[in-house]
Structure 1
Amino acid sequence: ETTGYILAAGHISAGIFQDCWNLRGMGQFMEDLVLNPEFAETLLKRVTEIHIGIWESFLGAVGPYIDMVETADDLGGQNNPLISPRMYRRMIKPYHAALNAAIREKTRAPILYHSCGAILPLIDDLVEIGVNILNPIQPLPGQMDPETLQKRYGSRLLFHGGLDVQSLLMRGTTDQVREHVQRYLKTLGMHRYIMAPANTVLPGFRPENLVAAYETAHNF
């Protein structure tokens, strides 16, 4: 309360969907969703129960002191969601909703949701189940660009991320980095956007580009 910092509760695992495919193998669990949905739902339910139990125990002790809760599940590839919106709504969304509801019973802190990739067709669903902050908004052309995000969700979500780690930090110039950061800050707004790398910074990046990004944000 006196430091100017926030206290964030990081996600406890990769996520409900990802934990299931880690247990079964990604390809096999994708098949399960289509060919063996009863088994898939049983596994999803059990994994969700474990997640909820951990969060309830943790937030029961520290919930009043938490400023942000982070959950996660990777739903997107480079061009599209990993599963169709219809499949997400039928098989995965109910368990995400149950987890968020359990978290909300223990804390009023905003919920940050992490998903890599192109998840634009799923964002309405995430808002519906209580997501407040979206991370890492990978800058994929025509999918997660800041103009589209602002137009559709600027009044409903706060955005975290956006700094291109796949191309710009690796091969771009400092001027290109500054232009990129300014675009996101101007488009998404100072009060609706937290500038950060749009995933883990990769080995081989140009350090001067990361410095330029943070200097631009601080001086904006």
Structure 2
Amino acid sequence: MTPRERVIASLGHRETDVLPLDLGSTLVTGIHVSSLHKLKVALGLIREDEPVKVIDPFQMLGEVDDELRKVLGIDTVPLFPPKNFFGFENADWKPWTFFDGTPLLVPGKFNTTPDANGDIYQYPLGDTRFPPSAKMPRDGFYHDALIRQKPFRDEELKVEDQIEEYTLLTDEELSYYEQESKRLYEETDYAVVSSGVPGTNLGDIAYVPGPALPDPKGIRDVEEWYISLMTRKEFLKEVFSRMTEIGLENLKRFHQAVGERIQVIVISGTDFGSQHGPFISPSLYRELFKPFHKKINDWVHQNTSWKTFIHTCGSIYALLPDLEEAGFDILNPVQISAAEMDPEKLKEEFGKDFTFWGGGVNTQTTLPFGKPEEVKEEVRRLIETFKKGGGFVFATVHNIQAKIPVENLLALFEAVNEYR
């Protein structure tokens, strides 16, 4: 099987020659630049002084290139948007040394100048004339969103303010997607995974503060947003309704540009779970999110061959029946360390409903703090559990984080290729 055939078969719940492997096809199945650099050095792909590229400045994720794909046996390739989390292009690369000494290449508009305390700030659109929208503390590993919410009264809230960043795809963006999807589909045999289009990602808390907006208006504070799920339901229904209209139009335009050259599209990255249970009740999900999710997924399934991908962290067992009814095909990150997220129970009860994309190793404890043999054993056990009958693409639980021992990184991929 080719990598693309392998992923397609697994998405169809058919067993494959070897288990499909993903690393880096999405911004929730990636690897932190520090860990990526250590891994590539250990594999002999680069020297200690050679840099790796930052493709997601917010989470500081690194570029998984073709050379690494071939060495590890990765089956996927990303179709990323033309602009990153902060609204500027990953272009005009420049060198920068990370706090921990990792040599990097960052986009030209990535701010590398620290303030007096040594902190690094990023700016909307990469434009320092605007107030910063994120901060990476000195010696940190990631950016934290900065809350820039202005005081407001409920009667002043406007739907158009709340969805300012969700715009229709432009001719320039569609041309980019057409050309890039052709390149990935025709020049590689990997499964092509799209990060999605503006308007479908209802309530994704990473985007609520408006990191790419020079002057965000509306509800932009994280705590206030979660409170609003209960106190401003009717307003949020209007917001989600309008977002869905934009999302559906963008899906139509996107489909015209890429056709069937992609296999997977990320529809939602909204986290509905905490470590111990869902953030929201099933009844609130049914009221606020499910009708819109179903409308979006239905359009995809009625008009394309794509499979729809939802990323939602935490303990979401109680929400799984509703997510299935809403039409999601793929569940990520399969946070096996959270309450009620037992791998065997998930596979037995929902293995025919979802493709589990993730759940391959516990990134909270085992990968960062376990011994290499413990990493290998956990990978073996989880592959054995999830692989049966297809419907499983191996990925770690969320991104591979910083400060992972290189011995554990090597053990992870050695085990994947031994047991896949």
Identify which range, 41-50 or 115-124, moves more after superposition. Answer: 41-50
Deviation at 1:114, TM superposition (A): 1.1
Task: Please state if 1:112 is matched with 2:309.
Answer: yes
Deviation at 1:60, TM superposition (A): 2.1
TM-score, normalised to structure 2, is 0.49
Partner of 1:6: 191
Task: Please state if 1:144 is matched with 2:341.
Answer: yes
Equivalent in 285, 290, 294 of residue 88 of structure 1: 285
> Equivalent residue of 1:159, what SS?
strand
Task: Check whether the contact 2:275–2:338 (CA below 8 A) recurs between aligned residues.
Answer: no
Partner of 1:40: 236
Task: Please state if 1:181 is matched with 2:181.
Answer: no
Identity %: 30
Q: For the residues of structure 2 that align with 1:12 and 1:206, how far apart are their CA atoms?
A: 35
Identify which range, 188-197 or 199-208, moves more after superposition. Answer: 188-197
Partner of 1:50: 246
CA deviations on 1:124-148 (whole Å, 9 max, x unpaired) are 1111122111111012254222111
Q: For the residues of structure 2 that align with 1:208 and 1:32, how far apart are their CA atoms?
A: 45
Q: For the residues of structure 2 that align with 1:141 and 1:135, how far apart are their CA atoms?
A: 13
Task: Please state if 1:203 is matched with 2:399.
Answer: no
Deviation at 1:119, TM superposition (A): 0.9
Query: Structure 1 pair 141/75, CA: closer, same or farther in 2 (3 Å)?
Result: closer
Partner of 1:69: 265
Q: For the residues of structure 2 that align with 1:143 and 1:210, how far apart are their CA atoms?
A: 27
Query: Structure 1 pair 94/143, CA: closer, same or farther in 2 (3 Å)?
Result: same
Length, aligned pairs only: 220
Instruction: Output the amino acid matched with 1:189.
Output: K
> Equivalent residue of 2:373, what SS?
helix
Structure 2 residue runs without a partner (length 5+): 1-184, 210-217
Task: Look at both structures and tell me which one has the larger radius of gyration over its CA atoms.
Answer: 2
Task: Check whether the contact 1:63–1:106 (CA below 8 A) recurs between aligned residues.
Answer: no
Task: Please state if 1:17 is matched with 2:203.
Answer: yes
Q: For the residues of structure 2 that align with 1:16 and 1:28, how far apart are their CA atoms?
A: 16
> Equivalent residue of 1:113, what SS?
strand
Identify which range, 189-198 or 18-27, moves more after superposition. Answer: 18-27
Q: For the residues of structure 1 that align with 2:254 and 2:338, how far apart are their CA atoms?
A: 39
Identify which range, 46-55 or 176-185, moves more after superposition. Answer: 46-55
Q: For the residues of structure 1 that align with 2:393 and 2:381, how far apart are their CA atoms?
A: 13
Instruction: Output the amino acid matched with 2:370.
Output: G
Instruction: Output the amino acid matched with 2:257.
Output: A
Q: For the residues of structure 2 that align with 1:41 and 1:141, how far apart are their CA atoms?
A: 29
TM-score, normalised to structure 1, is 0.90
> Equivalent residue of 2:309, what SS?
strand
> Equivalent residue of 2:259, what SS?
helix
Q: For the residues of structure 2 that align with 1:142 and 1:179, how far apart are their CA atoms?
A: 21
Deviation at 1:173, TM superposition (A): 0.7
Structure 1 residue runs without a partner (length 5+): none
RMSD value over aligned CA atoms? Answer: 2.1
Q: For the residues of structure 1 that align with 2:291 and 2:318, how far apart are their CA atoms?
A: 17
Task: Check whether the contact 1:15–1:74 (CA below 8 A) recurs between aligned residues.
Answer: no
Task: Check whether the contact 1:100–1:129 (CA below 8 A) recurs between aligned residues.
Answer: yes
Equivalent in 120, 126, 131 of residue 328 of structure 2: 131
CA deviations on 1:172-219 (whole Å, 9 max, x unpaired) are 111111111111111112522222111122111112212212211111
Deviation at 1:21, TM superposition (A): 4.4
Q: For the residues of structure 2 that align with 1:123 and 1:60, how far apart are their CA atoms?
A: 31
